[in-house]
Amino acid sequence: MSQTTAPAHRLADWDGDRLLGLADEHATPLYVLDLDRVRANYRRFAEAFPDAHVMYAAKAHTGRAVLETLLEAGADIECAAAGELKRAVEAGADPNALQYTAVNPPGRDLDYAVDLAAEHPGLTITGGAADTFDRLAERGYDGRVALRVNPGIGTGHHEKVATGKDAKFGVPTDRVSGMAADLRDRFEFVGVHAHVGSGVLREDLDDHMEAISQIADLARTAAGGHGLDFVDIGGGFGVPYRPEEDALDMDEVARRVRRAVGDLPGRLKLEPGRYVVADAECLLTRVNTVKEAPASTVVGVDASLATLVRPAMFDSYHHIRNLSAPDRSREPVSVGGPCCTSADIFCTDRPVARPERGDLLAVGTAGAYGYELANQFHSQPRPAEVALDGSEERVVRRRETLSDVTRLEQ
């Protein structure tokens, strides 16, 4: 099997004994990050697109350990906020190689990006509204810019991530030519950008390729006979969250992308995020309550929607495994956390090896938008995160304390 068609990293592939030991040592809830898997996922993607410029979309997971690992592997970083720019620089990224994709950017974010570009003129700022470019010009900026376009087609696992058809993102097709001409007059116009959705698997590929083809057409329109440094088609390629789902064959995906884009006025650029980190992390949580209810067995755990919000926000599926007793008989259970809302649920009536109080459960494919969306709802401290790097392991984020929860209050 080639590196580009390597199988997905399933929850069953994690070393259960090692995870049990980590939970005993570091307590729960606990995020466990596999840096070897991060490297392998990036390498597989980059090898499928050897002639393209591959940037990691930092918003999927901005942890220092992830950014440092990917920079060492040769990735550049795409950022969607000033905080992500700062994280990337502190992790060792060359600011001249960064791309900042501004979506309705606060003034302080533009200030930070413009100040950074003043010292590092290779930084590229992407905008999807005339107002954004006017605000850049008002700050004296005349450097590298890219235009985000909206192809009118959205793809992905949920309507909330189908950005390609959301008016919030990018310039409508009928304004691309005029906007591009204006940018060429006022800035160093270097590229066209779009991102149409996230979590794309096999059943979504046809729509995704149609959207990519339209992005390529818009890029040729924007170029207007001039050259561009790049045409950025974003990321969006997904990983299987359910055990029965197949992983993408990135060789096949790359062939279809090349057919969809045709001849471009600049170098192809892609921004995988989820693909790189999603299956490289799992969440460990301890059972504290088992309650027999009329409709099902309710299993209470110490993780919550404050720890992993994707099931509540996107109705997302995350595979759950009972590490303490994987061979125990399976029965339908509903697993939820300690938050006072019915949205705080990880699964409903799902067959799991029957949990008992004290058992350790693993929640799979938690690396993308897992810790990144962790919060302090109900004044819950955010969990610790441990990184595995071969046989080594280290705490890369300590567990918050109750004092940390109130630390910023005056």
Active site residues: 340
Measure the CA angle with vertex 18, ends 363 and 336; round to 5°: 25
| Residue 249, C-beta contacts closer than 8 angstroms, at least 6 positions apart | 4, 5
- Which of 141, 165, 147 shows the shortest CA–CA distance to 155? 165
Exposed/middle/buried for residue 159 (C-beta within 10 Å: 0-12, 13-18, 19+): exposed
C-alpha pair distances (Å), 173 with each of 149, 161, 169: 7, 20, 12
Asked whether 346 and 333 are in contact (CB, 8 A), the reply is no
Amino acid of residue 217: D
Asked if residues 234 and 196 have their Cβ atoms less than 8 Å apart, the reply is yes
The DSSP string of 152-190 is S--EESSGGG-GGG-TTSSB-GGGHHHHHHHHHHHSEEE
Q: Convert 217-235 to b/e letters by CB count within 10 Å (16 or more is b).
A: bbbbebbeeeebbbbbbbb
What are the backbone dihedrals phi and psi of residue 48, each rounded to the nearest 5 degrees, phi first? Answer: -75, -25
Torsion of Cα atoms, 193 then 199 then 200 then 204, to 10°? -120
State the helix-helix crossing angle for 35-48 and 64-73, rounded to 10 degrees. Answer: 40
Q: How far is CA 184 from the centre of its chain?
A: 31
146 SS3 class: strand
Strand pairing category for 124-127 and 30-34: unpaired
Residue with tokens 């950008």: 193
Distance of CA 228 to the CA centre of its chain: 27
CA pair distance 128, 61, nearest whole angstrom: 23
- Whether the Cβ atoms of residue 390 and residue 34 lie closer than 8 Å to each other: no
